[in-house]
Amino acid sequence: MLLRHTNKEILEREALTINPAKTCQPIGAMYAALGIHGCLPHSHGSQGCCSYHRSTLTRHYKEPVMAATSSFTEGASVFGGQANLVTAIDNIFTVYEPDLIAVHSTCLSETIGDDLQQIVTKAKDDGKIPEGKHVIYAPTPSFVGSHVTGYANMVAAMAEQFAENTGKPIDQINIVAGWMEPPDMREIKRLAKELGVTIQLFPDTSDVLDAPQTGKHVFYPKGGIRVPDLKSTGDSKSSIALGCFSGEPGAVALDKKCKVPFKTEDIPVGLRATDRFLMRLSKAAGVKIPESITDERGRLVDLMTDMEQYFHGKKVALFGDPDDLVPLTEFLLDLNMKPVHIISGTPGKRFEQRIRAILADTHADANVKNGPQADIFLLHQWIKNEPVDLLIGNTYGKYIARDEDIPFVRYGFPILDRIGHSYFPNIGYMGAIRLAEKILGVLMDRQDRDAPEESFELVM
Amino acid sequence: MEKLEILEGRKKQVFEKNKETETFDIKCETTSLSGSVSQRACVFCGSRVVLYPVADALHVVHGPIGCAAYTWDIRGAVSSGPELHRLSFSTDLKEMDVIYGGEKKLYKSLLELIDQYEPKAAFIYSTCIIGLIGDDIDAVCKKVSEEKGIPVLPVHSEGFKGTKKDGYKAACDALMKIVGTGSTEGIGKYSINILGEFNLAGEAWIIKDYYEQMGIEVVSTMTGDGRVDDIRRSHGASLNIVQCSGSMVRLAKTMEEKYGIPYLRVSYFGIEDMSKALYDVASHFSDNPEILQAAKKVVSREVGELYPQLLEFRKALDGKKAAIYVGGAFKAFSLIKALDSLGMDVVLAGSQTGNKDDYEGLKGMCDEGTIIVDDSNPVELSKFILEKEVDLLIGGVKERPIAYKLGVSFCDHNHERKIPLAGFIGMYNFAKEVYESVMSPVWQFAPRKGGLS
C-alpha cells in the first residue's frame, strides 16, 4: 500500500501539490525541439534541469536524448547568463555541429531576467553563429503553465523565427503537431499520403526518438522537419493545428507572421476526432477521402460493435494532458463507458469547458479539475469516494492501480516502466483500434483473474 | 557524426594512461563547460538522492513543479516500513510566488502536511529559484518546528550553487542537525552506522545482515531504509562505515569531530572490496577476536559458494573489454576489481564527480592505454567505445541507449538497478547481468561499432 497516506476526506488545499499530474515547461520545449532535423536543444539554466529532462525523455523513449546546458553557476546567477549562453553557442557549433540550436529558458534564467532574444542577437553580432546555421529561442519559465505550455512555446518559436512568406504560395498544408508520440507523427504523415495531400508537419519527432539501431550513435538522427521545409510553412495554403493547448499557439504565430489561416482540431484520438481531422484535411486540400481510409474506419467501427457488449457503464478515471484527454473522453463515451474522474495538471480554462461540453448530455456530474492542485493525490481521493473499473494515465497511475486494485491502461507522458509504447500510434483509426483493444484486454484479464473456477470460461 | 573531437575546454579532463606521460594533472571538480552535453546533475539532485531513502520523513520540494516531478520515486531505495518518501510534495511555485515570495505558501504547506502525515521529521529542499528570490526557509522551518514539535530541516540545495557534490554536503548538514538528538542508551560497544548505502534493491539489508552475523550492532543506516529515530541516536555508535566516494564522508568527518567517532571508507562491490569491508570492521574491534572469527566465517562461506559460479561466467567473459562511466569514482575502483575477477579488461574509467586523488587511484589501478575521464559527454563516450572496441558499458540511465545504439551490451550500476549488486550475492548478480548482456543473442542482429561488423 504505497499510497496508504491518501485519505478519503477531501480538504481544500491552497498551497500544496501532491503527486503532480504535470511537470515543467522546459522538458516540453526540449521534446518539441527534437522534432527539427539537426537541432540540438539547449537548456539555459543549471546543469540539473538539462539532466532531469534528458533522463525523463530517455526513460520514456529508450533513446539517447541530446541537449546542451548553459551550466549556470552562482556567478551567472548574479551577473546574468549572457556570457554562458554566448560561450555555449560558440562551443556547440564548434563541437557538435548542429544545423540549429533551440534555446529554452528555465525558472532560474527567467527570474534573473535574461533576455534570450537580446543574447541571441548579440551572439549573432559577435559572429558566433556560423553562416547557414540558426539559433531559435523560447521563454519557458517553470513557474508558469506546464510541460505542455513549454512544448507549445517552442513550437510557436519555430513558426515565428523560421516561417517566411515569399509571396509565392505553395500547394501544401501545415499541420502543427500537438504533443504526440513519434509513431503518431508518423501516422499523420501516412494518412496525409493516403489522402494524397502534401503537408508540412512540425515538429516531427518520428525517426528521431524511434530511430533504428545502426551501430552508430548519431547525434542528429534522420527524422525531424528540415529547416527549409520549416521556412516554407509561411507560404502554405493553410494550417491545421492539432490540440488547442499544444498545437494552436504555433498556428497562431504562423498566422500572425505570414497570414496563413488556420483551424484547430483535436489531436485525432478515437473515432470522431479522427473523422474531424480527416474531413478538415480533405477539405483544406480539396481532396476526397480514399477508400483505403474509409476501410480503416470501417474496421474500427466493426471492432467497436464486436466490443460493444463489454463496455457499457464501465466507470473510468483518467488523467494526463488536456489535448489527449479531450478526444479520449469523447472516445470513451462512444465506447459507452462512463468517465467519472478527470484530472489534468495543466492550467487553462478551455479544458474544463471542452470536457464539460462533451459530458453534458450523459455524464454531467463527473469530477473534472485542471490547474493548481489538480494532482494525482486528488484523483486518488476521488477514486476512494467513487471507485472505478478502469484507470487511464501515465506511469504514475500504477500506484493507485495497485493500491485500489484497478485495471490500468498506460497512456500519455511519461511512461517509464514499459517498452514499446513509442512504436505504436495512439491516433487515427488504427490508434483507436489499438486503444480499444488495450482497454478491453485489461478488463478481460481482470475478469479472468477474478473468476471463480466454476465460472472461468474459454469463450468470453 | 563522423568526426569525434574533444571540446577544447575539456581536454584537461581526459587522460590516457601510457608510459610517456610523466605528469598527471587531470582537471576535475569544476562545473561543466557551457554548451557541453554533460551527463551531470545539480546541487538539488545531490541532496535529494542522499536524503530520499529516509522513509518516515516528509520531503518537501520548495520550488516550481519540475524539481519535485523529476525526482518523484526515481531512486529505487526500498523501505521495510513507511513509504512516505515515495510521495512527491511540492509547493508548485507560480509567477506571483516568484514575485512576492513563497514563504507563506511553504509555511501553509508544511502545516497541512505535518497534520496529515505526522512524520518524524521534514526535509525542505530549496531549489534554484528560492536562492534567487531569497525566501528565508530557515526561519519558516524554525517556526514550523516550534509549532509542531518535530525537526523541520532546511536543505540548502539551490541547483546553481555548485555540483552534485555540494548537494551531498547540504544533505549531510541537514542530517547532522538530527544526529545527537536521541538517547544512546542501550547501544553496545561493538556498534556501527552504515553510511552512504542507499538500499537500492535492498542492498542495505544484505550488508546489515553480514555485520549482524559478525555480532556487530547496526545503529543506523544512513540513509538506506532510513529512520529518523535511528539517525537521532546514531552518535552512540562506535564506528562509522562510509561507502561511496563523496556523499557521506562529510557527515562522518563531522561526527568524528563532534563525537569522536572514527570512520572507515569501504565499498560493497566485488568479492575483494566486500570482504575487506567486513575485515576492516573486524580489525577495528580487534579487542574482540570473535568478531574476526565470525567475519572469516561469513567471507569463507559466501566466497566458497560464489567462486565456482563466477568461474563459469569468467569462461565466457575472459578478455572482453569494458568501459565504466559512473557517478562516483569510488564505485569505479570496485568495478575495476570486480571486472578483473571476471577476466574483463577495463579500457575506460570515468566518473561525474571524482577528485584528483580518485583519479590518481584509478590511474594506479588501470592498465596501459586506459582512458581516464572526468565529467564525460555522449560524444566522448561514443568515441572511446568505438576506438577501444568496447564490449560492455557500465553506466546510468542516460548511457544505456547510447551503448545499445552502438551495438554494445550494458549494465546499469546506478539508480536503475533492480537487483542488488552489493555484497557477495550482489557480485553474483552483477556477473550474471554482465554475462547475460554481453552474451545476448541480440548483438548478432545489431550492427556493432559504427556499423562496421
Looking at the complex, does the CB of residue B161 fall below 8 Å from at least one CB of chain A? yes
Q: Which residues of chain B from 363 to 422 reach within 8 Å of chain A, CB to CB?
A: 378-379, 382, 397-398, 400-402, 404-407
Whole-number pLDDT of residue A192: 98
**What residue ranges do the domains of chain A occupy?**
2-16+294-453, 25-149, 170-290
Residue with more model confidence, A248 or A76: A248
Residue B4 pLDDT level (bands cut at 50, 70, 90): low
Cα–Cα distance measured from residue A369 to residue A6, given in angstroms and rounded to the nearest whole number: 18
Shortest CA distance from B91: residue in chain A:
A16
Shortest CA distance from B33: residue in chain A:
A71
Cα–Cα distance measured from residue A316 to residue A333, given in angstroms and rounded to the nearest whole number: 10
Cell numbers representing residue A229 in the block: 521545409
CATH of domain A170-290: 3.40.50.1980
- Report CA-CA distances (Å) from B327 to A46, A120, A428, B134, B429: 18, 33, 43, 31, 20
Place of cell 525558472: A107
Residue B19 pLDDT level (bands cut at 50, 70, 90): low
- B395 secondary structure, DSSP code: E
What is the CB-side half-sphere exposure of residue B310 using CA atoms within 13 A? 23
Weakest mean pLDDT among A368-377, B302-311, B380-389: B380-389
Domains and CATH numbers, chain B: 8-36+305-445 (3.40.50.1980), 43-176 (3.40.50.1980), 191-300 (3.40.50.1980)
Q: Using CB atoms, which residue from B94, B162, B405 is nearest to A213?
A: B405
Whole-number pLDDT of residue A48: 92
Q: What is the DSSP annotation of A174-211?
A: EEE--S--HHHHHHHHHHHHHHT--EEEES--TTTTTP
Q: Look at B129 and A74 and tell me if their CB atoms are within 8 Å.
A: no
Residue A352 has pLDDT above 50, yes or no: yes
Q: Look at A16 and B404 and tell me if their CB atoms are within 8 Å.
A: no
Weakest mean pLDDT among B90-99, B212-221, B414-423: B414-423
Whole-number pLDDT of residue B426: 97
Whole-number pLDDT of residue B1: 38
Beta bridge partners, A369, equal: A343
Cα–Cα distance measured from residue B199 to residue A248, given in angstroms and rounded to the nearest whole number: 46
Q: How far apart are the first and last CA of chain B?
A: 18
**Chain centroid to CA A196:** 26
Shortest CA distance from B31: residue in chain A:
A71
Whole-number pLDDT of residue B22: 56
**Burial classification of residue A436, based on how many CB atoms lie within 10 Å of its CB (0-12 exposed, 13-18 middle, 19 or more buried):** buried
Residue B375 has pLDDT above 60, yes or no: yes
- Give every CB contact of residue B304 below 8 A, 6+ residues apart in sequence: none
Same fold, A25-149 and A170-290: yes
Q: What is the DSSP annotation of A28-56?
A: HHHHHHTTBTTEEEEEES-HHHHHHHHHH
Cα–Cα distance measured from residue B55 to residue A407, given in angstroms and rounded to the nearest whole number: 28
CA distance B211 to chain A (A): 29
Candidates A143, A151, A377, A378: best to mutate against B (most CBs of B within 10 A) is A143
Q: Using CB atoms, which residue from A19, A51, A220 is nearest to B41?
A: A51
CB atoms within 10 A of CB B15: 21
What confidence tens digit (pLDDT) does each residue in A125-181 have? Answer: 999 999 999 999 999 999 999 999 999 999 999 999 999 999 999 999 999 999 999
Cα–Cα distance measured from residue A101 to residue A45, given in angstroms and rounded to the nearest whole number: 15
Q: Using CB atoms, which residue from B41, B89, B446 is nearest to A18?
A: B89
User: Of the candidates A104, A107, A3, A81, which has an alpha carbon nearest to the alpha carbon of residue B66?
Assistant: A107
Q: Look at A215 and B109 and tell me if their CB atoms are within 8 Å.
A: no
Residue B16 has pLDDT above 60, yes or no: yes
Cell numbers representing residue B348 in the block: 575506460
Residue B186 pLDDT level (bands cut at 50, 70, 90): very high
CB atoms within 10 A of CB A410: 21
CA distance A351 to chain B (A): 19
Residue pairs between chains A and B whose CB atoms are closer than 8 Å: 263
CATH of domain A25-149: 3.40.50.1980
ipTM: 0.94
B55 neighbors B83 (Cβ within 8 angstroms): yes
What confidence tens digit (pLDDT) does each residue in A297-347 have? Answer: 999 999 999 999 999 999 999 999 999 999 999 999 999 999 999 999 999
Residue A1 has pLDDT above 70, yes or no: no
Q: Look at B64 and A24 and tell me if their CB atoms are within 8 Å.
A: yes
Cα-Cα-Cα-Cα dihedral of A49, A52, A57, A62, to 10°?
A: 150
Looking at the complex, does the CB of residue B150 fall below 8 Å from at least one CB of chain A? no
Whole-number pLDDT of residue B211: 98
Residue A77 pLDDT level (bands cut at 50, 70, 90): confident
Shortest CA distance from A85: residue in chain B:
B34
A242 neighbors A177 (Cβ within 8 angstroms): yes
Residue B3 has pLDDT above 60, yes or no: no
Q: What does the buried/exposed string (b/e) look like for A187-196 if buried means 16 or more CB atoms within 10 Å of the residue's CB? A: bbebbbeebe
Residue A42 pLDDT level (bands cut at 50, 70, 90): very high
User: Of the candidates A285, A355, A282, A278, which has an alpha carbon nearest to the alpha carbon of residue A316?
Assistant: A355
Quick check: helix, strand or coil at residue B212? helix
Ranges of beta strands (E only) in B33-83 are 57-62
Q: Which residues of chain A from 340 to 369 reach within 8 Å of chain B, CB to CB?
A: 345
What confidence tens digit (pLDDT) does each residue in B99-113 have? Answer: 999 999 999 999 989
- B226 secondary structure, DSSP code: B
What confidence tens digit (pLDDT) does each residue in B428-453 have? Answer: 999 999 999 999 999 999 888 666 54
What confidence tens digit (pLDDT) does each residue in B390-402 have? Answer: 999 999 888 999 9
What confidence tens digit (pLDDT) does each residue in A389-441 have? Answer: 999 999 999 999 999 999 999 999 999 999 999 999 999 999 999 999 999 99
Looking at the complex, does the CB of residue A412 fall below 8 Å from at least one CB of chain B? no
Whole-number pLDDT of residue B245: 64
B160 neighbors B15 (Cβ within 8 angstroms): no
Question: What is the layout of strands, in order, in the sheet containing A17-18?
Answer: A17-18, B89-90, B57-62, B121-126, B152-156
Whole-number pLDDT of residue B144: 98
- In the CATH hierarchy, which fold is given to the domain comprising A2-16+294-453? Rossmann fold (3.40.50)
- A416 secondary structure, DSSP code: -
Q: Using CB atoms, which residue from A23, A108, A216 is nearest to B450?
A: A216
Whole-number pLDDT of residue B453: 42
Shortest CA distance from A57: residue in chain B:
B398
Q: What is the DSSP annotation of A291-360?
A: HHHHHHHHHHHHHHHHHHHHHTT-EEEEES-HHHHHHHHHHHHHTT-EEEEEEE-S--HHHHHHHHHHHT
- Report CA-CA distances (Å) from A181 to A117, A244, A412, A420, B422: 30, 17, 9, 12, 38
Percent of chain B exceeding pLDDT 70 equals 95
Cell numbers representing residue A357 in the block: 461540453
Q: Look at B42 and A218 and tell me if their CB atoms are within 8 Å.
A: no
- Give every CB contact of residue B357 below 8 A, 6+ residues apart in sequence: none
Highest mean pLDDT, choosing among A425-434, B93-102, B327-336:
A425-434
Residue B2 has pLDDT above 50, yes or no: no
- Length, in residues, of chain B: 453
